A and B are shown apart, each in its own frame.
Chain A
Amino acid sequence: MALSKKSAQAVNTYNRRQVLGLLAGGVACACCGAVHANKLAYDLAATEIASGTWAVHGRTEYFTLENGGNIVNIAFIEVPDGVVVIDTGPSRRYGEALLALIEKTIPGKPVLRVYNTHHHPDHFLGNQVFENSVIAAPQKVIDNIIAEGDGFTDNMYRLVGDWMRGTRTTAPGTALEAEFEEIGGRRFSLYYLSGHTSADLVIRDDETGVVFSGDLAFFNRAPTTPHADIGVWQESLTTIASLDKELILPGHGLHDKAGDSLLQTGDYLDWLRQAMTDAASRGLTMNEAMSLPIPPRFKSLDVVETEYQRSVVHLYLAFEDELMPLIEMK
């Protein structure tokens, strides 16, 4: 009797746990995208965009507590002796999910090279899960990561919260300066451009002709400008357009065969420059400049309202300095 009583109790406990588990699952489901869901997990998927080349497309959104910063395009490439990775995502947790996805897609091959295209947080904060010496970027990108990385990391904790747990700024261990390098039996051409930031690395896989533009190109998602120099950025777009290539993977948005991402990014930057010029030369306040109408052709770009408002804050001061005449004192 005593025995059966005990086992009955055990069964009951088991059931209660099951029920609790179901409840927890139900709760997480019910408020889909619940900010404080029990377990935060990036649901990463790889799309083969060219032979042996996978893109992990991020959402075309701004950082939120819900998306955990998964708004960026990451890529990995199978080369004869291993794997090459382009950018590492917004957090340590993302980096771990990325590594797992690579291992699932290309089992048993080592990561031989990780490129960081530039120092924005969604592109490099997954670095710490990779061996430091294989992570490479131009010296200026490394300098920018060292100078601004901790500030970015703090801000990311504020913007996306617990997804960032355990994330530390990790600068690349290898500085790039060559025009190309052979990695695991594949040649990659390296282009040292700028304009989106003070240092933007563009990588071409010379075998497949895929160009990884970093954030010099956006596609159907409004460009971001916190460190932008619009004139220099336009020159870089011209350089990318002139490259021999089969496909572009922009930093944000779908991959693009025809080069439309370059045209769209250039068109948007032209408009931005014109809008800032007009507003600053009329002495508009930043808030007034922020409420200028966005042309219909850009209305379909994801998060264009948010990004335009942010851009006004990033760019307006410089336009004012240029367009407001100096006054002579009495």
Chain B
Amino acid sequence: MRQGKLSSSLRNGCVVLLLSVSSMVSAYELPADPLNSVMWENMAKRFFPGEIVIDQRVIVRAPHDAEDQMQVPITVDATQLENVVEIVALADLNPIPHILTLHPVRAQPFVGFRVKLEQSTPIRVGVRTSDGVWHVNGVNVGAAGGGCTAPALAHGNNDWYKTLGQTRAITRRESLDLARLSLRMRHPMDTGLAAGIPVFYMSKVEVKSADGIALANLELFEPISENPTLTIKPLVSDGITELLVYARDTEGNEFEFPLVVPATVDN
């Protein structure tokens, strides 16, 4: 009897504990998904822990229909929000949904990139502000099948590795204290989902000032298109005239190069 009582009160305790945990988890109500995705709850739990608001100030630009599902262009502009800490871009229905994360340490909350899509999917972006709130918005993009599971074009060429990391870039000063950096780095960005080709992708791109102040940190993931083409807008006040870019892939290959920010504004 005693034992039974104990275990039952333990059970009650557990119930109470469980209740409090679950009430912690659901402290924030999940807003309805404007994109009507079956993956919304899952995506929100996995990538946007905490309070979520649907926010039209997060502008996600993407074509309505993917003309080339290996290179679907996306531009995220959250410059209407202040104190942005982190931007997370997802493709709900990709086998690997996480596209990239940007920490715009000293940069505008803005990023351009291209993505491989496996099928029609919401492109969803969460922007976390310093108060911990996730501002989420997105668009649906139509696509034919097979973007993530097709081999990179580089594999049609036997010596693709010779140009690995080769980089093209344009740096402009858009205003006195704002630069625009567009770069393309040669990399197959293998997802690991194409038969016989292991995962291999550029996983990190960091932009610093010449004296080492972090401006923007990017984490890239498998869905980023072959030869990643990225556009970011670092803040270049305090007389920054040179940027340093450091990039690394999943095999530990490192790439490092300086970029001059022109002194004159060109817009």
Interface size class of B (residues with CB under 8 A): 20 to 34
Taking CB atoms and an 8 Å cut-off, the chain B residues in 210-235 that contact chain A are: 229, 231
Cα–Cα distance between A163 and B111 once the two chains are bound (Å):
40
Cα–Cα distance between A325 and B68 once the two chains are bound (Å):
25
Given known A-B contacts A313-B73, A330-B257, A285 and B112 have beta carbons under 8 A apart: yes
Verify A320–B144 contact, CB threshold 8 A. Answer: no
How many chain A residues touch B (Cβ–Cβ < 8 Å)? Answer: 30
CB-CB under 8 A from B112, the residues of chain A are: 285-288
Which of B73, B167, B229 interacts with A326 by CB under 8 Å? B167
CB-CB under 8 A from B5, the residues of chain A are: none
CB-CB under 8 A from A329, the residues of chain B are: 165, 167, 255-257
CB-CB under 8 A from B61, the residues of chain A are: 285, 287-288, 290-291
Verify B255–A286 contact, CB threshold 8 A. Answer: no
A312 to chain B, nearest CB (A): 8
Question: Count of A-B contacts with CB under 8 A?
Answer: 87
Cα–Cα distance between A317 and B74 once the two chains are bound (Å):
14
Verify A287–B68 contact, CB threshold 8 A. Answer: no
Interface string of A53-71 (1 = CB under 8 A from B): 0000000000000000000
Verify A282–B73 contact, CB threshold 8 A. Answer: no
Q: Which residue of A lies closest to B66 (CB)?
A: A313
Cα–Cα distance between A68 and B71 once the two chains are bound (Å):
27
B213 to chain A, nearest CB (A): 18
Q: Does A309 contact B (CB under 8 A)?
A: yes
Verify A317–B67 contact, CB threshold 8 A. Answer: no
Verify B231–A283 contact, CB threshold 8 A. Answer: yes
Verify A283–B168 contact, CB threshold 8 A. Answer: no
Q: Does A15 contact B (CB under 8 A)?
A: no
Verify A327–B62 contact, CB threshold 8 A. Answer: no
Q: Which residue of A lies closest to B246 (CB)?
A: A330
Taking CB atoms and an 8 Å cut-off, the chain A residues in 282-330 that contact chain B are: 282-288, 290-291, 309-310, 312-314, 317, 320-321, 323-330
Q: Does B172 contact A (CB under 8 A)?
A: yes
Q: Which residue of A lies closest to B255 (CB)?
A: A329
Verify B168–A326 contact, CB threshold 8 A. Answer: yes
Cα–Cα distance between A317 and B182 once the two chains are bound (Å):
13
Given known A-B contacts A313-B63, A313-B71, A327-B169, A283 and B257 have beta carbons under 8 A apart: no
Verify A283–B73 contact, CB threshold 8 A. Answer: no
Verify B144–A282 contact, CB threshold 8 A. Answer: no
Given A283-B172, A309-B67, A320-B168, 4 additional A-B pairs, CB 8 A: A283-B170, A283-B182, A310-B67, A330-B258
Interface residues of B (CB under 8 A from A): 61-63, 67-68, 71, 73-75, 112, 114, 144, 165-172, 180-184, 229, 231, 255-259
- Can you sample 23 A-B contacts with CB below 8 Å? A282-B172, A283-B171, A283-B180, A283-B181, A283-B231, A286-B112, A287-B61, A287-B62, A287-B73, A287-B75, A290-B61, A290-B73, A313-B67, A317-B71, A320-B168, A320-B229, A324-B182, A324-B184, A325-B168, A325-B170, A327-B257, A329-B255, A330-B257
